[in-house]
A and B are shown apart, each in its own frame.
Chain A
Amino acid sequence: MSGNEAIAEGAIQAGCQFYAGYPITPQNELTAYMALHMPEKGKIFVQAESEISAINMVYGASATGVRAMTSSSSPGISLKQEGISYIAGANLPAVIVNIMRGGPGLGNIWPAQSDYFQATRSGGHGDYHCIVLAPASVQESFDIMYRAFNLADQYLTPVMILGDGMLGQMMEPIEIKNPKLKIKNYTKPWALTGAKNREANIVKSFYMIEGDLEKANLRLQKKYKVIQEKEQAYEETNVNDAEIILVAYGSMSRIAKAALKTLRKQGKKVGLIRPITLWPFPRNAFLKFDKNVKYLAIEMSYGQMVEDVMLTVRDKTQVNFLGRSGGGVPKEEEIIRKVNKLL
């Protein structure tokens, strides 16, 4: 199964009831999978007339209380930002998948990680965040959909899956029956279902009365603080005795791990931190190391996640960077060469 299909199947099993999408490479297998399998299971698939319409359909479906999702790739995700901002402002749960490609502009269809800033900061207008999850394998792409929908419902917030073209197209065998993966059910008394035996519900992000928006924004910030405290996730490899720690997420972390193995065989003390949540950035992963540890952030971009590493360790230690984008992917040999230079 490809990464794109695994995300689709994971979403279906995690209780996604509504999907709207628009064609864009390299995520088309995901939309096609949903078109085939959602209606079979009595769930709703709509091919929207635009990315903008697709994200607003997700807003509408989510407003009725069902689990809803859209997917796209970089240029399409830019178009969705208005809708994502409204979803965040209206405290609606939603899952948005970005299978990143090269940019800026039309760029190309090769894998890239250059939408990190857009995903982890407020990609649209206003002070808000999406929870951003970065799977690194086809299996994890499937599994993570449970976490994505559960987090969206728990915190009433948009959750973004940040993959890339390599992960989306990669074929790997996966296990799709894992009893540990569970749908957490949350009641949604705010949902639009018709005002029967209750007051009318209103889903909105507009506050006309002076002071009301500030209060609403403070409620959002309080929610983000809880998420930052409770939801950081990461994977560590060989970090305890490491003199240099590689930091990489998604597909890039696979290549970094291969470099790590080679370097370890040569007796080099190299570790790896793989952020699984990009927002909240897993700061906890970095706090236990002393100031002599060096870091090397590796990305398929010209330096985006590296800024979060720098913000986390401040000026206590050396943060280095290796990155390529626009079709180029840092190779294992390039990583090994860079590490040898730094040690």
Chain B
Amino acid sequence: MEKIYTHPKSLRQVPTHYCPGCGHGIAHRLIAELVDELGIREKVIGVAPVGCAVIAYDYWDFDCSESAHGRALAIATAIKRVRPKNIVFTYQGDGDLAAIGTNETIHAANRGENVTVIFINNAIYGMTGGQMAPTTLLNQKTATTPKGREAHLQGYPLKISEMLALLPGVKYIERTSLHSPQEIIKTKKAIKQAFLNQINGIGFSMVEILSPCPTYWGLNPQKALTWIKDVMVKEFPLGRLK
């Protein structure tokens, strides 16, 4: 009988440290499946962020670099420039990519670096204990917005993907979600497109993935998925932006 579902070769067989209901495990697996399916395990170089996914390299079984908080795209820029035949991607959270690393993000995109960016948007800082992220929604309660995010004090949820879509150096941006099996399949297709763009030399490609953080949203895993579908998607509409 043909096996149609198995453990990806590019994903180590180890337990993860992620909380129950966290989206990182799914996103890691999608990347590992695609690295296998595209046959690029011997060429891929991942750049891990600072944040909950800091030890993503303990789960993926291919070459990886750590990066200082926010600097993943500076590091990826250099790796890709030195080794253009390798497939280089960054995996970054919202705080990493859209707060402390905004400068690196915008300029790597504007230079049109031929790399792939996997951007995990869970509207919160998870690793440090649930503080406000640039993508935190208005009225969302966090450790640093105990009364909820207020526009006049903390500004608005930052739509970095929409901003990047304006840049001529950016070739592909899609926002997807992990809140249902259908959306996970769409997410995988988008990541595949972003990798194929790099393989074909098309240029800077990013997939923004709305991902649940039940622990710091104060919801159970099931309700966290519903919250993405009913609330988060209204602020961050899904679909191709460029």
Residues of A participating in the B interface, judged by any CB pair closer than 8 Å: 17-18, 20, 44, 46, 48-50, 52-54, 56-61, 63-64, 66, 68, 82-83, 86, 90, 192-197, 200-206, 208
User: How many residues of chain B get a CB closer than 8 Å to chain A's CBs?
Assistant: 33
A-B contact pairs, 11 of them (CB 8 A): A18-B82, A59-B65, A60-B65, A64-B78, A83-B71, A192-B45, A192-B63, A194-B42, A195-B41, A203-B65, A204-B66
Interface string of B64-80 (1 = CB under 8 A from A): 11111001001111110
Interface string of B58-102 (1 = CB under 8 A from A): 001111111110010011111101110010000000000000000
Contacts beyond the supplied A17-B82, A46-B77: 4 A-B pairs with Cβ under 8 Å: A44-B78, A44-B81, A83-B71, A194-B62
Q: Are A18 and B63 in contact (CB under 8 A)?
A: no
Residues of B within 8 A of A197 (CB): 42
Closest to A83 in B: B68
**A17, A46, A59, A82 — which one has the most chain B CB atoms within 10 A of its CB?**
A59
Q: Check A48/B65 contact, CB under 8 A, given A60-B79, A63-B79.
A: no
Residues of B within 8 A of A49 (CB): 103-104, 106-107
Q: Are A61 and B71 in contact (CB under 8 A)?
A: no
Output the least CB separation between B93 and chain A (Å).
Answer: 15
B172 contacts partner chain A, Cβ-Cβ < 8 Å:
no
B238 contacts partner chain A, Cβ-Cβ < 8 Å:
no
Q: Which single member of B63, B67, B68, B107 contacts A195 (CB below 8 Å)?
A: B63
Residues of A within 8 A of B71 (CB): 52-53, 56, 59, 83
Closest to B60 in A: A200
Q: Which single member of B75, B81, B83, B107 contacts A59 (CB below 8 Å)?
A: B75
Q: Are B86 and A63 in contact (CB under 8 A)?
A: no
Residues of B within 8 A of A82 (CB): 68
Output the least CB separation between B7 and chain A (Å).
Answer: 16
Q: Which single member of A56, A68, A83, A195 contacts B42 (CB below 8 Å)?
A: A195
Q: Check A194/B44 contact, CB under 8 A, given A59-B78, A60-B78, A206-B55.
A: yes
Closest to A50 in B: B103
B57 contacts partner chain A, Cβ-Cβ < 8 Å:
yes
Q: Are A193 and B86 in contact (CB under 8 A)?
A: yes
Q: Are A53 and B104 in contact (CB under 8 A)?
A: yes
Q: Are B65 and A46 in contact (CB under 8 A)?
A: no
Q: Are A53 and B66 in contact (CB under 8 A)?
A: no
B202 contacts partner chain A, Cβ-Cβ < 8 Å:
no
Q: Are A56 and B67 in contact (CB under 8 A)?
A: yes
Tell me the bound Cα distance from A18 to B66 in angstroms.
19
Residues of A within 8 A of B103 (CB): 49-50, 52-53
Closest to B65 in A: A203
Output the least CB separation between A62 and chain B (Å).
Answer: 8
Interface string of B23-46 (1 = CB under 8 A from A): 000000000000000000111110
Tell me the bound Cα distance from A195 to B36 in angstroms.
13
B54 contacts partner chain A, Cβ-Cβ < 8 Å:
yes
Output the least CB separation between A11 and chain B (Å).
Answer: 16
Q: Are A194 and B63 in contact (CB under 8 A)?
A: yes
Closest to B44 in A: A194
Q: Are A196 and B42 in contact (CB under 8 A)?
A: yes
Q: Are A64 and B79 in contact (CB under 8 A)?
A: yes
Residues of B within 8 A of A61 (CB): 78-79, 81-82
Residues of A within 8 A of B79 (CB): 60-61, 63-64, 192
Q: Are B78 and A58 in contact (CB under 8 A)?
A: yes
Q: Are B74 and A48 in contact (CB under 8 A)?
A: yes
Tell me the bound Cα distance from A315 to B82 in angstroms.
52
